[in-house]
Amino acid sequence: MLPGPVQEAIQQAIVDFEGQGISVLGLSHRSQRFQEMLHSAQTRLRALLGISEDYAVLFCGYGAALHFSALPLNLMPENGLAIYEMSGYWSDRAADEAEHFGQIWRFQSPFQMQAKARQEAHSMREQMLGKDIPAYIYYCSNETIDGIAWPSLPDCWYSEVPIPLVADMTSTILSKRIDVNAHGVICASAQKNMGITGLSVLIIRKDLLGQARSQTPRLLNYETLFETNSIPNTANVLSIFALEHMLIWIQQQGGLPKMEERAQLRSDLLYSFIDGSTLYLNDVPAELRSRTNVPFVLRDPVLTTGFLAGAEERGLLQLEGHRSRGGVRASLYNAMPLDGVVRLTEWMREFEQKQR
Ligand code: PMP
């Protein structure tokens, strides 16, 4: 969902953009005003995330799923190798795509292993990497569907040479503070925490630009994006407009410390309710639980349809779990008010009492 003021700014701009008698939908991507919008979004993102001049901040007219192909094309040489940390659905999809372009080592995420297994995996990884140096190490910071978040950054200790860390942050970007400098590349679709669909943000260390394979399609080539200041073709004006207003809203709310605090409050409320109930279950270990996506099941699955129907009657919408998993999933992105979770837990309590 979008915050009210952002939605209103979009509505207004669609009817009449800044009193110019045109709609934002008709605003040229070559206009001075659009250039300003783009610049404003870049500057605000830099300020919010603390992005230094060593990094380029680029906008792409497609979602993170296309970066699954663009990343290996830009970072991995022909016959190259990359490591993918497997933590759930989206890291799996990313590795599937990358396999079209090179050798992919799918490593089970160490955080999902016991201490002994972790030590063994560590030694095994070191042996495997005797002389092969991966082009990058990929991870998905928050598995949107599984409700699993990396509790800390993945290790990059495999070789003497630092290996760039590449992150898909689609479902957590701008919901908490992050260490951009620990990463070579960060990509994220805009529609969850920072606007609407049709756009992704790419934060890339500048020394990683210019290595794309020769057959890389122009629009997927990160260097082309950099050289054209994110306008290699007709830009998605409306998505950039929404992004700019979302960034203004986040800044006005108090920036990332505030977003983080709210994300903790929302998710704590829901997890503690689930853990205290006998009907609902979230089996993700506490230290790995996502603060933006809370999937849960009803211990008697037959009840799920009735639970979701009742939720919908109460205006609690889009709670159905991902089609690959079923169950229920509450996505608690930046714009979700705490009251949304309060109302959800009220319905959960009422429904549970009805079963007694
Ligand atoms: N990565 C993650 C973590 C996601 O949650 C999603 C979408 N839900 C994607 C990638 C794919 O994003 P898009 O559909 O915008 O390309």
**What residues contact residue 205 under an 8 Å CB cut-off, 6+ apart?**
54, 55, 164, 183, 184, 185
Going from the N-terminus, what domains does the chain have, and what CATH number goes with each? Answer: 4-252 (3.40.640.10), 255-354 (3.90.1150.10)
59 and 199 in contact (C-beta within 8 Å)? yes
Write the residue with the smallest CA distance to atom 2 of ligand 1.
Answer: 170
Q: Which of 170, 172, 196, 323 to mutate to test the pocket of ligand 1 (most atoms within 8 A of CB)?
A: 170
Active site annotation includes 168: yes
**What residues contact residue 193 under an 8 Å CB cut-off, 6+ apart?**
171, 172, 173, 174, 175, 259, 292, 333, 334
Catalytic residue among 146, 150, 192, 249: 192
| pLDDT 10s digits, 44-59 | 999 999 999 999 999 9
CB of 61 sitting under 6 A from ligand 1? no
CB of 282 sitting under 6 A from ligand 1? no
Residue 161: the pLDDT is: 74
Q: Look at the alpha carbons of 101, 103, 108, 109 in this order and tell me if their dihedral is positive or negative.
A: negative
Catalytic residue among 146, 168, 176, 249: 168
Ligand 1 centroid, distance to 119 Cα (angstroms): 32
267 and 293 in contact (C-beta within 8 Å)? no
CB of 97 sitting under 6 A from ligand 1? no
Residue 132: the pLDDT is: 77
**What residues contact residue 17 under an 8 Å CB cut-off, 6+ apart?**
23, 24, 26, 27
Q: How far is CA 354 from CA 15, 280, 344, in A?
A: 47, 14, 15
Most confident of 103-107, 109-113, 294-298: 294-298
Structure tokens at 77: 């040489």
Residue 353: strand, helix, or coil: helix
Q: How far is CA 163 from CA 119, 179, 208, in A?
A: 20, 16, 11
pTM above 0.85, yes or no: yes
**Cα–Cα distance, 207 to 54 (Å, whole number):** 8
**Cα–Cα distance, 4 to 158 (Å, whole number):** 46
| pLDDT 10s digits, 58-77 | 999 999 999 999 999 999 99
